[in-house]
Amino acid sequence: MILRTERLILRRARLDDLADLHRVLSHPAVMRYWATPEHETLAESRAFLKAMIEAGPETDDFVIERDGQVIGKAGAWRLPELGYLIHPDHWRKGLGREALTAVITHLFATHDVAALTADVDPRNVASLRLLEGLGFVETGRAEKTIRWRDEWSDSIYCALPRPR
């Protein structure tokens, strides 16, 4: 499965994506609001990549490729929850919106879900703005939902209903 946009290719992960994906997953700014801190070793990224490759039917996840280099990932690790990461070298260029527009269209076209959801740390303002621009609406909030290193993070829950 390959999704193409004007500037991106979104495709299934492959073993040879390890170096590029590690560059993304080992960056502190990328992982700041993710469920886990940045990867310190290639082995951590290899396990992440292996899980992407071997994932079951509840997963519909893509690596994001630009000009032959993997710059992030986007998709649903556990349907219907959307997740995405992009290396900071590619932030503020509309690439997140471009990738997620393609992924969202694909997810609704291929899965019988009433809505897509997202769980966002309230401090991740850029991600909240991106989701809002794609039509997601806040559905709830919770405190201390995940422990990240030595601090607790809160969550804003968002949903995008299936288009009519």
Residue ranges with strand state E in 49-148: 60-66, 69-78, 81-86, 115-120, 137-148
Between CA 158 and CA 115 the distance in angstroms is 10
Burial of 67 (0-12, 13-18, 19+ CB in 10 A): exposed
Look up the CATH superfamily of 2-117. Answer: Gcn5-related N-acetyltransferase (GNAT) (3.40.630.30)
114: left (phi over 0), alpha (psi -120 to 50) or beta: alpha
pLDDT digits (tens), the chain, 164 positions: 899 999 999 999 999 999 999 999 999 999 998 888 999 999 999 999 999 999 988 899 999 999 999 999 999 989 999 999 999 999 999 999 999 999 999 999 999 999 999 999 999 999 999 999 999 999 999 999 888 888 898 899 999 999 98
Global confidence as pTM: 0.93
